Amino acid sequence: MGRAQVNWRSIQYKISKSKKLNQSLEKTGRKKFEIAKRKLMDEFEGHAVTKEIGGGSSSKNLSGSLGGYGNLFSLIGFPKGADPLSDVRSLLNASIRIKTNKARVSPKIVSKNFSVKIPTIKDFAAIGKMPYEGGNSWIEMIEMGISNFSSYMNKKSSASRSGGGIQIKGKIRMAGSTPTPYMTELLNSFRKELMRK
């Protein structure tokens, strides 16, 4: 009695070409991506730094980066009424994209891979420059610590760009602001969410 030979590789290849299977895998992968992206945007909106800057010059130091003194909006020097977060939202929404790759056939499984483009903190430099200071990104400086905190006075003044803080000559304190995880933390959390099974 002869023994039948089954060409599993051929069967798997044919399965990988199944339109119905590919549509199902595509739907599942994109759904996972959309859920992770929505979570990222929710975490961005709920982050203490976002809320503090969104509160303008009268906001409390919700992030704790200034030891409770003043706020990031007036320290950074955003003009009164400015909305520096709108460009950040737009960049996050536009730059995070998913691309579908071909189905992959292995000895035990047929799978579909996706590539996700995620910005780095450097990508925010163009839309997040420190006001009246060349080059540096306020998003990056929040994470590194802002040195001019040593000369920052939380005071309403007509001379203040933000309306709620001024820079004085000399130093009130020795240290800059406390380095505070922000965009790097959010993007790392997004990566981990994508990798979850």
Q: How far apart are alpha carbons 151 and 145 in whole angstroms? A: 14
pLDDT one-digit tens code per residue, 48-95: 999 999 999 899 999 999 999 999 999 998 988 899 999 999 999 999
Task: Give the pLDDT confidence score for residue 107 in this predicted structure.
Answer: 57
Residues of the chain with pLDDT under 50: 1-2, 4, 6, 8
Query: Which pLDDT value is given to residue 91?
Result: 95
pLDDT at 15: 54
Sort 154 into a burial class: Cβ within 10 Å, 0-12 / 13-18 / 19+: middle
Domain ranges of the chain: 9-192
